Amino acid sequence: MINISLTIMNPWNDRWDMGKCFSGRITKNKSWELQFPKTNTILCVEFKLTTKQDHAGLYTEFNVFGRGVIFQLYDNRHWDYETGKWSEHEKDLL
């Protein structure tokens, strides 16, 4: 996993609003999401690249003075730590 993050929060503000959110599927197991949140963050720059965990993939966030953009490309499956494989949704629902 790679995780680079810088965040400066405003402690006198508790605003959090999802704003606009768009999402969709690329393939059966890969999805994307684009959000435009309103938060109490003064500055946030974040980059994550994960593997072998729930919803692994790319996560990027940029936020200035409470307005931001978050973009994700991720695997919509869950990781089974016992078997070291992706868990299949059909099996999880039974």
pLDDT at 90: 54
pTM of whole model > 0.85? no
End-to-end CA distance of the chain: 31
pLDDT tens per residue across all 94 residues of the chain: 899 999 999 988 888 888 999 999 999 899 999 999 999 999 999 999 999 888 899 999 999 999 999 999 999 888 888 888 888 755 544 4
Which pLDDT score, from 0 to 100, does residue 91 have? 54
* Strand partners for 64: 43, 67
Written as one letter, the residue type at 70 is I
Residue boundaries of the structural domains of the chain: 2-81
Partnered with residue 67 across adjacent β-strands are 38, 64
Any idea what the Cα angle at residue 60 is, between residues 24 and 84, rounded to 5°? 75
What pLDDT, on a 0 to 100 scale, did the predictor assign at position 87? 84
pLDDT score, position 89: 59
Q: What pLDDT does 63 receive?
A: 95
Listed in order, strand segments (DSSP E) in the chain are 2-9, 17-25, 30-38, 41-49, 57-64, 67-75, 78-80, 85-87
- CA distances to 8, 22, 31, 59, 67 from 86, in Å: 35, 25, 15, 19, 35
